[in-house]
Amino acid sequence: MQTLTPTNAPDLTLTRLGYGAMQLPGPGVWGPPADRPCALAVVRRAADAGVTHFDTSAAYGPDVANALLREALSPYPAGLTIATKVGVDRAPDGTFLAAASPEELTAQIQQNLATLGVDRLPLVYLRVGGDGLLPPGPTPFAESYAALAELRAQGLISYLGLSGCTVAQLEAAEAIAPVVAVQNRFFLFDRGSADVLGECERRGIAFVPYFPLAAGMELPHAAQRAALQVLADRHGASHAQVTIAWLLAHSPAILAIPGTRNPAHLEENLAAADLELDASGLATLNDISTLTG
């Protein structure tokens, strides 16, 4: 399985196809899964297939995703990276809320350490509202990131990342402490973070699209559906596999983290890591948003 090592993290190697744990909890990323044994089996199968890059957050459940990863994977083998996100909390109704004061971040780091059962978190993203999906909180961005940098200096975190950031926020963070990975929304039909991806490529930072399949199933025009179907048929693949393959081919900086609690979907996602699209197929997908006829 292909791997990537960020420029400023020479001892951090991530599989380019990872596993996102957001779908492990119940509906709305809330409460336990309906089938806990199946959820654990999916996580273990991903690890057995060579995935060493798992993405989670204490806010998923809350604590459900972390607990499942710990039960499925602990004792953690050497080389396994569990990345988590802080700066966000859940309201009683399940709404995601910004929570990025130094005190809140410290509590969230301790929460992740406890629920994952580790002494140090390999990679921690600060979730910010640069992508418009998380309403901004009252704490200035620089203050939040500096607080995480201090926790890193204390030995509680190995590496830092940003989630949902702008280029300006990435530059501001790098002036405080190195950023090794960025997790932004980016997929076939939403390339609004292309400027952030370009900056990550320039700096040797890993770029991890979240919701990597969100638009692969939402083709608004018949011409787009037809083009994707032609490519899928040509490769004997599903729409989801073609979408993942496009992401991995689009930039060497990209790591995909599709998530599922369905064993068949996991096998489908794993197979996408070996799917190679030809030049004409890549060109079609690069321009697919323009197909409206």
Residue 267 lies in a domain: no
Q: What are phi and psi of 193, to 5 degrees?
A: -95, 20
Residue 246 lies in a domain: no
Q: How many domains does the chain have?
A: 1
Q: Are strands 14-15 and 53-57 parallel, antiparallel or unpaired?
A: unpaired
Residue 128 lies in a domain: yes
- 3-state secondary structure at position 16: coil
Torsion of CA 92, 83, 15, 275, to 10 degrees: 20
pLDDT for position 98:
94
pLDDT for position 135:
82
Q: Any idea what the CATH number is for the domain that residue 94 is in?
A: 3.20.20.100
Residue 249 lies in a domain: no
Go through 41-76 and write b for each residue having 16 or more CB atoms within 10 A of its CB, e for each that does not: ebbebbbebebbbbbbbbbbbbbbbbbbbbebbeeb
Residue 247 lies in a domain: no
- Pair of tokens at residue 274: 């070996």
The model's pTM: 0.94
Residue 262 lies in a domain: no
User: Cα dist. 120→102, 107, 181, 228, 252 in Å?
Assistant: 18, 14, 17, 43, 28
pLDDT for position 96:
92
Residue 38 lies in a domain: yes
Residues of the chain with pLDDT under 50: 215-216
Q: Taking a C-beta distance cutoff of 8 angstroms, is the pair 113, 151 a contact?
A: no
pLDDT for position 220:
62
pLDDT for position 213:
67
- In angstroms, the CA 112 to CA 158 distance is 14
210 is catalytic: no
- Pair of tokens at residue 157: 């975190």
pLDDT for position 219:
57
Helices (H), the chain: 36-48, 64-73, 102-116, 141-153, 167-174, 194-203, 222-235, 239-250, 263-272, 279-286
Residue 70 lies in a domain: yes
The residue range of the domain holding 184 is 14-217
pLDDT for position 216:
46
Q: Per the residue annotation, which of 60, 76, 125, 159 is the catalytic one? A: 60
